[in-house]
Structure 1
């Protein structure tokens, strides 16, 4: 059994790529872009089945307008991003590989205007651009009992209900995309996200107001979106330091006639 497990680990590591994130941080990625896109599409399709999708036309148009402006300034060839608003009190949003953005209606009670909503959407899209989803599931694959290893273990041990065990593992992998990222990844998404929003013509100074609202929304713990994020004070201080760099991008985009969404 030990030999089999070791062989599977070597097989997994042989296919991984070590690269650098946009801020120069080392990343180990086990999955191809095509694999990530497929997993992202499957996860998003499952979420649309299991969660209530908003039918409010005005809300959908507003969120899509903000999201589309963010994705319009992304580098390189990008997919046509699918934007869905979910009816939920969660103060949260997410983006998945393959071009999928989900926003919960609870977030709109905290993000008071288009610029604050753009802060969150830019942050979440930045996670995808920086391959954080790939990094996240790759790390889980290497440090936990990955699906291949677990499957082999079940075969060798002779456990019954193999399909049930593998289904449970598959479900865990499926929803692994929206589990909390690490603090280094969150800080990286902050840096990239505020630049994206500025380039899209959203006021980056509103990012500070947004995170102040977030800090108030859930008391000392904050809402779900802040579960593993840097502290409120640390995040706000970082954003304040970035304002001189990104404000000219915002002014240039505004002068170029970027339309408002609200």
Structure 2
């Protein structure tokens, strides 16, 4: 009867979580406590600082300026957090934002995002992940996927199904390529849309988001097949951004008219 209890618990958790929606209106499953995720974000930020040297001066001021302009247009709950920004000495073109209000940009990103508008698209995208609670959703999905596989293994074993080990291995591949990886691609696409809106609302030119991905495409060379990657292809991202550009440009023009004209200098 234990497996019935597991299934009932999983269904109950999913039902309770079904009321959550992302900033784009997508239904979400959020089972993790946000305060716990904020603590995990703080720990991860601290660990990153231990692994890489930080950079101050003009580069930090530049990233801080862009981040401040984007944070200023966030909803009050996120806007009022004590956002911390660091620049890390690394050639990897990488940036991130973490639950709890943490932003990190590697110096290698400056070679790809070559002006304030392009870098704003990157930072807006990363903050979009936080705004949409993607860390919570990803962890919740993984937990339920593991629970489902555990229940499936118990059922196969209890009923004496021949080849249950091979079946479980196939289920694992199905979960990876059928649920978890596409789920990550959905998160990336959603963060692209949210980031585009944020940068436009802050007064940064949203057209620069397309330039960033063209620069990234030139710098990165080959990519794994889209179906086997946690990120959409560069071409898919550019097409998606172009489809959202009409609304983004309208937001940008409204922001400019309202006096939001960023002037962050590298």
Q: TM-score, normalised by structure 2?
A: 0.76
1:217 counterpart = 2:219: yes
- For residues 35-74 of structure 1, the aligned pairs below 5 Å read 35-49=36-50, 51-74=51-74
* 1:22 aligned counterpart, secondary structure: coil
More helix by share: 2
Q: Where does structure 1 differ by over 6 angstroms across 4 or more consecutive aligned residues?
A: none
Deviations 1:97-151 (A, max 9, x none): 1101111111111101010000110001001111101011112222237xxxxxx
What is the CA–CA distance in structure 2 between the aligned matches of 1:58 and 1:248, rounded to whole Å? Answer: 32
Report deviation, 1:181.
6.7
* 1:229 aligned counterpart, secondary structure: coil
Deviations 1:140-176 (A, max 9, x none): 222237xxxxxxxxxxxxxxxxxxxxxxxxxxxxxxx
Report deviation, 1:9.
6.1
* 1:29 aligned counterpart, secondary structure: coil
What is the CA–CA distance in structure 2 between the aligned matches of 1:10 and 1:247, rounded to whole Å? Answer: 43
CA-based RMSD: 2.9
| Contact map agreement 2:202 2:260 (CA 8 A) in 1 | no
What is the CA–CA distance in structure 1 between the aligned matches of 2:126 and 2:105, rounded to whole Å? Answer: 10
* 2:194 aligned counterpart, secondary structure: helix
What is the CA–CA distance in structure 1 between the aligned matches of 2:245 and 2:120, rounded to whole Å? Answer: 15
Match of 1:76 in 2: 76
* 1:77 aligned counterpart, secondary structure: helix
Match of 2:132 in 1: 130
* 1:84 aligned counterpart, secondary structure: strand
Aligned length in residues: 226
What is the CA–CA distance in structure 2 between the aligned matches of 1:210 and 1:192, rounded to whole Å? Answer: 16
| Contact map agreement 1:12 1:30 (CA 8 A) in 2 | no
What is the CA–CA distance in structure 1 between the aligned matches of 2:12 and 2:90, rounded to whole Å? Answer: 38
1:33 counterpart = 2:34: yes
Match of 1:185 in 2: 187
What is the CA–CA distance in structure 1 between the aligned matches of 2:114 and 2:234, rounded to whole Å? Answer: 18
Segments of structure 1 that go 5 or more residues without pairing to the other structure are 146-178
- For residues 75-94 of structure 1, the aligned pairs below 5 Å read 75-78=75-78, 79-94=81-96
What is the CA–CA distance in structure 1 between the aligned matches of 2:183 and 2:95, rounded to whole Å? Answer: 13
Change (3 A) 1:181 1:108: farther
Report deviation, 1:94.
0.8
